[in-house]
Amino acid sequence: MKWKVFVLCIILVLAVFAAGKFSTTTIGGVATGYVPVFTVVGDVEKPLKVDTLEGFERIKEIVVVSGAASPDNGMGIISPTENIGYMTAGRLYAGIRLNFPVFEGKSSVENDGKTYGVSIYTQRRMVDLKTVIEEKHGNLLIMGRNGEYRRVKNDGYLEIGDNTIDYVCPDLKNRVADLAGIMVDPPVGSIMDAYYDTLHFLENDKNVMLIILDGFGYHQYLYAVEAGHANFLASLPPANMATSVYRPVTNAGLAAMYTGKPPEENGVNSRKQKDIKTPTVFNDALVMNKKCAMVEGDIKILNTSLEPRLNVDKNSNGITDDEILETALEYVNGDYNLLVVHFHGIDDSGHSYGDIHPSTMEAVSRTDGYVKELVSRWKGKVVITADHGMHSTPEAGDHGSFCFEDLIVPYIITDGEGRK
């Protein structure tokens, strides 16, 4: 290694500390002959300023790659049961030589009765999706950071955007910008089914109770059933897997369930939004002259046409779920056609202790009892699901990331009274 290159290495390594972003910098003139690509793994706070360096004509490009890829600074590749890996734009760029000639059109001129034509290609920083995701995974679910939710075949391309990875459709035109991740072999169900199932039952003159267990991932369900913390849920037919939406947080999850639409369409893709852009199941139920109620905790999460009945921790035992149950039972005994009951205790405990911590399993067990009481009294159909799941963190638990623990939840349909 020549001394100048060595000095450049030192400069770059010094620059790669703090948390950072990927950037590419082209230095020097257009090199002739051998053009090495210089890759540095680390983190940089700001794009490197190396354009004043001289004497590096033989280096065409410097790629600075984030040292750690995580669900929050890159694109995830997961299955419903495993987090396969995370990739940043820089890693993708450095790992694969991306020079994809894309046909843009033809141009021709007439001269002396002859036509001279030329085809125009541009070089795009793009890679065939199959080079990243094995061909055996034929069905994929793509989620974008803007709340896009697309089921696609394993074809198309990944393109490096401005420090993002975009999915480009096989037609090379349509795209999902800034991928949060790709789920391989996704389950057919999603929490958006809650909207369609509810509507279907109401249209068939069946009453529906939608029970939402906040922050209860499918892996927690399996664990709880196996370990005897959810005896009532275990007595029901096994839950199906359903996907949540991105970001897997309460607002986005509830809006997806109430509208049947992904966040991209209903406008709720994070904890920031409360207003829903598309009609909800409550609007539809009103048109059908159905009587609806929603039993919530102490905070109104979304602005819906149906005002939620809020519940505070009256007995100061640290949870509102017991008050929620009490209120829900009032409605169960009334003549309601649609009743939404949203329990919060599993999520609260998951944040405080972790997704499968004994304290969280205690919350699961308590909630399981509440669900049993409601289901045994309800006359009609019951849908039991969750807005999102919960993953372990070094401290406790959290959700909102592109990982299977947050994105796969249980989905159960059962009957109320007369179930046995």
Q: Give the other-Cβ count within 10 Å of 9's Cβ.
A: 13
Classify the C-alpha dihedral 329-333-334-340 as positive or negative. Answer: positive
Q: Quick one: 235 or 352, whose CB is closer to Zn ion?
A: 352
Q: Quick one: 197 or 387, whose CB is closer to Zn ion?
A: 387
Contact status: 321 vs Zn ion (CB under 5 A)? no
Mask for 249-288, x = binds Zn ion (CB under 5 A): -x--------------------------------------
Q: Quick one: 145 or 342, whose CB is closer to Zn ion?
A: 342
CA 256 to chain centre: 12
**CB 213 to Zn ion: min, Å:** 9
Is the bond into 247 cis (omega within 30 degrees of 0)? yes
State the DSSP H helix or E strand holding residue 398, giving kind and residue range, or none if neither.
strand 397-398
Q: Which strands form 75-79's sheet, in the order they lie side by side?
A: 82-87, 75-79, 179-184, 139-144, 149-153
Residue with the closest Cβ to Zn ion? 250
**CB 405 to Zn ion: min, Å:** 13
Q: Quick one: 88 or 250, whose CB is closer to Zn ion?
A: 250
Q: Are 97 and 77 in contact (CB under 8 A)?
A: no
**CB 87 to Zn ion: min, Å:** 26
Q: Quick one: 248 or 380, whose CB is closer to Zn ion?
A: 248
CA distance 250 to 406: 11
Token pair of 191 as six digits: 């929490």
Tell me the sheet residues that pair with 151: 141
Question: Could you write out the DSSP letters of every residue in 129-142?
Answer: GGGTS-TT--EEEE
Q: Are 132 and 142 in contact (CB under 8 A)?
A: no
Q: Quick one: 43 or 347, whose CB is closer to Zn ion?
A: 347
Q: Are 319 and 341 in contact (CB under 8 A)?
A: no
Cα angle vertex 172, ends 171, 178, to 5°? 120
Q: Quick one: 215 or 260, whose CB is closer to Zn ion?
A: 215
Site size with Zn ion, rule: CB under 5 A: 5
Residue 225 phi, psi (nearest 5) = -65, -45
Token pair of 356 as six digits: 């499968």
**CB 247 to Zn ion: min, Å:** 11
Residues from 189 through 248 that contact Zn ion (CB under 5 A): 214-215
**CB 351 to Zn ion: min, Å:** 6
DSSP class of 307: P
CA distance 65 to 38: 11
Q: Quick one: 264 or 348, whose CB is closer to Zn ion?
A: 348
**CB 194 to Zn ion: min, Å:** 14
CA distance 371 to 364: 10
Q: Quick one: 24 or 251, whose CB is closer to Zn ion?
A: 251
Could you say which of 321, 387, 405, 406 contacts Zn ion (CB under 5 A)?
A: 387
CB under 5 A: which stretch of 18-26, 132-140, 326-334, 383-391 binds Zn ion? 383-391
Residues from 74 through 113 that contact Zn ion (CB under 5 A): none
State the DSSP H helix or E strand holding residue 420, giving kind and residue range, or none if neither.
none
**CB 401 to Zn ion: min, Å:** 12
**CB 38 to Zn ion: min, Å:** 43
CB under 5 A: which stretch of 41-49, 181-189, 343-351, 352-360 binds Zn ion? 343-351
Q: Are 249 and 388 in contact (CB under 8 A)?
A: yes
**CB 399 to Zn ion: min, Å:** 6
Q: Quick one: 38 or 246, whose CB is closer to Zn ion?
A: 246
**CB 84 to Zn ion: min, Å:** 25
Residues from 141 through 180 that contact Zn ion (CB under 5 A): none
Could you say which of 43, 284, 347, 368 contacts Zn ion (CB under 5 A)?
A: 347
CA distance 197 to 203: 10
- Residue ranges that bind Zn ion, judged by CB under 5 A: 214-215, 250, 347, 387
